[in-house]
Structure formats: structure tokens, C-alpha cells
Amino acid sequence: MGGLDIEYCMSIMTMVFIQIIYAGMSLGSRVVFLQGMSPRVFVVYRHAFATILLAPIAYFSGRSSGSYTLNLRSFSLIFFNSIIGVTLSQNLYFEGLYLTSASIASAMSNLIPAVTFLITAFIGMERVNIKSLRSIAKIIGTIICVSGAVCIALLKGPKLLNSENLHSKSIIGTTSGSDENWLLGCMFLIGNSVFWSIWIILQVPVYASHPNYISVSAWTCFLSTIHSSLVTLFLEPDLNAWKINSIFQFSCTLYSGIMGSGLVLCLQAWCIKNRGPLFSAMFNPLFTLIVTIFAALLLHEEIYIGKYY
């Protein structure tokens, strides 16, 4: 029992640490996008840096152990996993982050536990018993998450935090898009939540087929770099968009690659294997809390109930 308790506590601490990493990445990337960096280029560089970090580690660890081989089925799962979890999910998230705000992007991520619960219940990975208080709590939580996302996208509400004079002192110095882009940004974020939920669930068969966390993470980052590069070249033919114009942009991209992709993919895979996909998804509200507080304090984002028009 003691070993199980320690493992459970380690899983909780790991997921909390992951949410802190994601919060820092979200705030930093919001700033570099408003400074002119393309969200799509950011995704490419992020996973290129992660690949550079993980590839040699995966090679030497796999060579020393010699216990895991990558067969056609495993590679196919990882290939599909990289398209769903990175190329689609991350591009939608960062586009939505640019068009809305860091606090709203983090709040919309609360859809992930709800969507994950619905999918796992539908495919039989999660048992639903309407006579169980645990199942009732999950159902109510799902309804609240979905309702909250709808309110964020459509509700016209009053301001909660920060006034106009604080906004004018923002360290960003500019804002993204107009109110017309707000709904589009929210739609991108909803799409990200759906694809990220599918990605979380896919980790179960992926690691059952190839149970080497570092190897899977390295291949995922490598393949997603290729996929994202093709998407970016198609959508942004101007090669000037690929320039990194400041040390801050480089630092944020490097942090997102090493911490937000390289380290987090390995840690999250370990948690999903030990505690299941729903356990991983349910920590997203902590990410929202951290980002909302620091977005208001550091970036001087104006916080509303929904979106104020």
C-alpha cells in the first residue's frame, strides 16, 4: 500500500509540474506572437528543438537496453499520434491563443477533461454508472466544462480584472486581432481540446505497442516537425516568417521545445500509463488558474466574464 500511495502522490506532483510548465509556455508564446512571430513557425521550431534534445537520448537509451523495437504497427500509431497531438492540436491552440488571449486559451482547455470523459465512456475505457456518485460527479463536471466553454465564446459580460490604464501599460505593447476574430479563435481552441483529448487516449495503445517513453516522444517530435513544416510552408510561403527576431523569441521557443514538448511528453506518458487518460486530463483547471492570475499580473490582460464587446 505504501508503494501505491507514493506512486499516486508522484503522479499528482508530476501533473502539477506539467501544468506549471504549460502555463509558462502559454504566457511566453502569447508575447512572442504579439511581437510578430508566426504561431505556425513557432510550432515547427518548438518540436525541432525537442527532437534535437530527445533523439540522442532515445538512441543511446534504446541501444543500451535493447529491449524495445519499433515495428510497423508501433510506427503507424506514433505517426498518427504526432498528426493528432501536435500538427493539428498545437497549431489550432497557438492560433487560438494569438486570436484571443492567454487566459481565454487556458480556460478553453477545461474542455479537455469533458471531451476525454465522453470519448473514453463511449469506447468503453471509462465505466459510467448513474447510481455511482463518482460517475454523477464526472457527468456534472462535463456539463459545467462544456457550458463554460460556450459562455467564454458567446457571453457578453462585464470586466473582472484590470482597468484601461493597466492595459495601456502592458509589457506586450499591442493586441491581437479584433472582436471579429474572437469567435474564430475560440473555435480553434475547441478544436484543439478535441484533438488533444484524442491524443491523450491514443497514448494507451501507443505505449502498449512501444513502451519506451523517450523513444515515442522523440519520434513524435521528429514526425510532427516534418508535418508542421509542410503545413507552414503551404500556409506561409514568405520565408521571412521563419526569422527569429529577438533573443526573447528564441528563448521562448527553446523553452517550449525542451520543457513544453521534450520533458512534458515523457512525464505525461508516464502518468497516463500509470493512472489513465482521464487522470491526466483532469488537471487542466490548474493550468487555467495559473495562467489567468499571471496573465492579469504580468501581461495586464483584461479579464471578463466571457468576452466583452
Domain ranges of the chain: 27-62+69-304
pTM beyond cutoff 0.85: no
| Helix, strand, coil distribution of the chain in percent, nearest 5 | 80, 0, 20
Per residue in 265-297, pLDDT (tens digit) is 888 888 887 787 777 777 877 887 888 788 778
Among residues 42, 52, 24, 98, the alpha carbon closest in space to that of 244 is found at 42
CA gap 58, 120 in Å, rounded: 30
Cell numbers linked to 82: 504526432
* DSSP secondary structure, 191-251, as one string: HHHHHHHHHHHHHHHHHHH---HHHHHHHHHHHHHHHHHHHHHHH---GGGG---SHHHHH
Residue 172 binned pLDDT confidence (cut-offs 50, 70, 90): very low
Residue 63 binned pLDDT confidence (cut-offs 50, 70, 90): low
